Structure 1
Amino acid sequence: MNILIIGPSWVGDMMMSHSLYQALKTQYPNCQIDVLAPNWCKPLLARMPEVRNAIEMPLGHGAFDLKTRYQIGKSLRHQYDMAIILPNSLKSAFIPLFAKIAVRRGWKGESRYFFLNDLRANKNDYPMMVQRYVALAYEKGKIPTAADLPIAKPYLAVDESAVENTKEKFQAQLEYAEHRPAIGFCPGAEFGPAKRWPHYNYAKLAEMLIEKGYSIRLFGSAKDVEVGEQIRSTLPDELQRYCVNLAGQTQLNEAVDLIYDCTAMVTNDSGLMHIAAAVNRPLVAVYGPTSPQYTPPLSDKAVIIRLIEGGLIKIRKGADSAEGYHQSLIDITPEMVMEKLTGLLNNA
């Protein structure tokens, strides 16, 4: 059986989809899995052994472009027995329809009744995103309840020689930090400061760790360069050399390698948090308005800190500080994070 996955467009969601691919290999042992996803996903999909091919999705998130979707679908005809559509949007269901794939499976959403012929409507029975993904591996009528649904944790294959090559590329930065063992920070967040632990809290934690003999690696996209520099510049001058701002400097593959090389990670709720979990790093995840019940880091080595109750709070910019931070994240002190991190390091 050949299966086409219409993949998600975010790093964290793509990482959680790996649990689905593992479940499909259990349900259909001889299946071949291809994933249609943005080009930036290819480095992640290449590290998932269950995936045969990553097919580039040329349209960006939010783009409709029906003509291009028709052309993609037409090019995929006569190749697949089943399609699984992970995004909930109507437009994501067009390509499998145009490809004339016999079984088109996905959750109910955005009036997709005539596009999906294996439609699932009981999404609320599965409160976690990863559960919703994995449930799509099962035939209708044979889906375990959320409590009984087996979830294989996402993982990324790591090549030690590739890690050494990546470290060699960043030799100057690592050497300037005196090759100390590194703690990685992921201080960015896709939807802005309301999801971010304040930079001054990151800086205080960095100071505490540097004084214990660690270096700090700051990870993120080009959009996170500024917050990385805020953290670094807040440190005393004599400690700044031990804080390396890699935001915007690494390709995704390189970020995976350098995160794997870290002793532990501290991160906001972000895509890089899920990558850190997938390479099995000890991890402290700091949550505010977003929900750890819905998208937690899927790792036995992760500790979550959240001071408020309830589910997702839909907020784009916090009103609790001039920088836009949310009070629930301001209130998480560096000492709280240090305590959890120390426990993880002692266990490791």
Structure 2
Amino acid sequence: MKILVIAPSWVGDMMMSQSLYQTLKAQWPQATIDVMAPAWCRPLLARMPEVNQAIAMPIGHGSLALGDRYQLGKALRDNHYDHAYVLPNSFKSALIPWFAGIKRRTGWLGEMRYGLLNDHRRLDKTAFPLMVERYIALAYEKSKVTGAADLPTPLARPALIVSEREKLETAALFSLHADRPLIGFCPGAEFGPAKRWPDYHYAELAKQLIAKGYQIALFGSAKDNEAGAEIVARLTTDEAAHCTNLAGKTELDQAVILLAQCHAVVTNDSGLMHIAAALGRPLVALYGPSSPDFTPPLTDNARIIRLITGYHKIRKGEADQGYHQSLIDITPTQVFTELEALLATVREHECAS
């Protein structure tokens, strides 16, 4: 069986989609799974053993580009795919498999996709509360899976592969010290300050961890570099010697490798959180208006801190510098305590095994 997946365009959603690939492979071990996704996703897809190849999606997010989509679909016809899975809910995302003439096209209904999808499912959000459940459910006949309770347990979880050689070489490339265990901070978030734990809290936590003998690496994109610089600026000269701002200075693949080397990760609800979870890193995840009831880190080695319940407006915080008050109210001491407890639990499990 040859399968084409039209993948999501966000880092976190891309990582959660691996659970679908794993589920498909479990059912059809000989299946070939190709994934069409933005070119920047290639480093992630290359570390997913279930994926045969990544096919670059050259059309920008949000652009219809009907003619270009037709040409892409036409070019895929020679691949003779048996089945397509369309993970985004937009009308335009379902066009390429239809243009490619793929006989079976599966996805959740959205934006008038009748016809484009001929194996469509109507989403009951209460029946599938987690995003990852919605992806995995597409691997099964819709008559057999009407809710999350029908899915096999445990659910497949994303898992990226990184070699020890890659870890050592990349750490040396960025002058990270071997004499101090590494804690990763992911202080950015796609929707800006409203989903971010304040920079001054990250700085205070860095002080506490550096005093305990750790070193800190700050991860993120170029737009997170300023937040990283603010964190470093709040440290003393001696403390700053043990805190490296890597935001915007690494390629995505390098960030993945360095996160794999982290002793633990402290992170906002972000794409990097899902990468750290897929790498099996112990992590403390900090949530404000977004909810772990929808997109939690998919790992047993996580502590989630959230002081509010329910859904809240994400795109704009109402407190100082655009932060959400519920994230301001999470104290560095609280995070430090949770992190120490998590690492103690991990050490106990390692000793027991």
Give the aligned partner of residue 316 of structure 1. Answer: 315
Give the aligned partner of residue 133 of structure 1. Answer: 135
Give the aligned partner of residue 281 of structure 2. Answer: 281
Contact 1:4–1:34 (Cα < 8 Å) also in 2: yes
What count of residue pairs does the alignment treat as equivalent?
342
Amino acid in the other structure paired with 1:153? R
1:163 to 164, 167, 171: 167
TM-score normalized by the length of structure 2? 0.95
3-state secondary structure, aligned to 1:9: coil
Give the aligned partner of residue 221 of structure 1. Answer: 221
Deviation at 1:29, TM superposition (A): 2.5
Contact 1:188–1:268 (Cα < 8 Å) also in 2: yes
3-state secondary structure, aligned to 1:310: coil
Give the aligned partner of residue 350 of structure 2. Answer: none
3-state secondary structure, aligned to 1:244: strand
Q: How does 1:37-186 map to 2 (within 5 A)?
A: 37-78=37-78, 79-124=80-125, 125-143=127-145, 145-150=147-152, 151-171=155-175, 174-175=176-177, 179-186=179-186
3-state secondary structure, aligned to 2:337: helix
Deviation at 1:117, TM superposition (A): 0.4
Residues in 2 aligned to 1:297 and 1:210: alpha-carbon distance in whole angstroms: 26
Deviation at 1:140, TM superposition (A): 2.4
Deviation at 1:144, TM superposition (A): 6.0
Unaligned runs of 5+ in 1: none
Amino acid in the other structure paired with 1:166? T
Residue 328 (structure 1) aligned with residue 320 (structure 2)? no
Contact 2:187–2:267 (Cα < 8 Å) also in 1: yes
Contact 2:282–2:302 (Cα < 8 Å) also in 1: yes
Residues in 1 aligned to 2:242 and 2:172: alpha-carbon distance in whole angstroms: 18
Deviation at 1:236, TM superposition (A): 2.2
RMSD value over aligned CA atoms? 1.1
Contact 2:144–2:150 (Cα < 8 Å) also in 1: no
Residues in 2 aligned to 1:147 and 1:187: alpha-carbon distance in whole angstroms: 35
Residues in 1 aligned to 2:123 and 2:281: alpha-carbon distance in whole angstroms: 34
Residues in 2 aligned to 1:314 and 1:92: alpha-carbon distance in whole angstroms: 26
| Segments of 4+ moved more than 6 angstroms | none
TM-score normalized by the length of structure 1? 0.96
Give the aligned partner of residue 349 of structure 2. Answer: none
Sequence identity percentage: 62
* Deviation sequence 1:218-246 (CA, Å, 0-9, x none): 00000100000011101123211111000
Deviation at 1:147, TM superposition (A): 2.3
Residue 22 (structure 1) aligned with residue 22 (structure 2)? yes
Residues in 1 aligned to 2:26 and 2:342: alpha-carbon distance in whole angstroms: 32
Give the aligned partner of residue 351 of structure 2. Answer: none
3-state secondary structure, aligned to 2:5: strand
